[in-house]
Amino acid sequence: MLIAAQLVAGLAAVLHVVFFVFESLLWTRPEVYARFGIGSREQAETIRPMAFNQGFYNLALAVGLFVGIVMLGRDGAAGIVGKTLVIFATACMVVAGVVLASTGRKYWRAAAIQLVPAAVAMVLVLLA
């Protein structure tokens, strides 16, 4: 169960690194901002600072989750810290996915991509 939790949590972390790359590094490319429903370069430039900031939030969650995954299998306090980090990071990802889904039906697919791996990882860690 623990290995499955680490693998699924790893997927959630990698996805959030990808979100960071899109939002903070590649935002002004038309194929990237179009994925987020932005229709023009002018609109993308207007919200670029917000996207840049949001990307770093995603990176911070991914880093916290990666650290938690590494510590998860350890004994003693390190294992407790790892479990706590994994639960916290995945819970944040789940909440963000729920909020995204609540903004409209057209965001349900994106919300599911963000939410499902994190939710599965969180449940697996809680059961481990």
Q: Look up residue 119 and give its two tokens.
A: 């939710």
Q: What integer pLDDT is reported at residue 2 of this predicted model?
A: 87
Asked whether the predicted pLDDT for residue 105 surpasses 80, the reply is yes
pTM of the model: 0.92
Q: Look up residue 1 and give its two tokens.
A: 């169960």
Q: For residue range 74-102, list pLDDT tens digits in order.
A: 999 999 999 999 999 999 999 999 999 99
Asked whether the predicted pLDDT for residue 1 surpasses 80, the reply is no
As a whole number, mean pLDDT of residues 98-118 equals 96
Distance CA 119, CA 93 (A): 8
Whether the CB-CB separation of 61 and 90 falls below 8 Å is answered with: no
Asked whether the predicted pLDDT for residue 110 surpasses 80, the reply is yes
- Taking the alpha carbons of 120, 8, 82, 125 in that order, is the dihedral positive or negative? positive
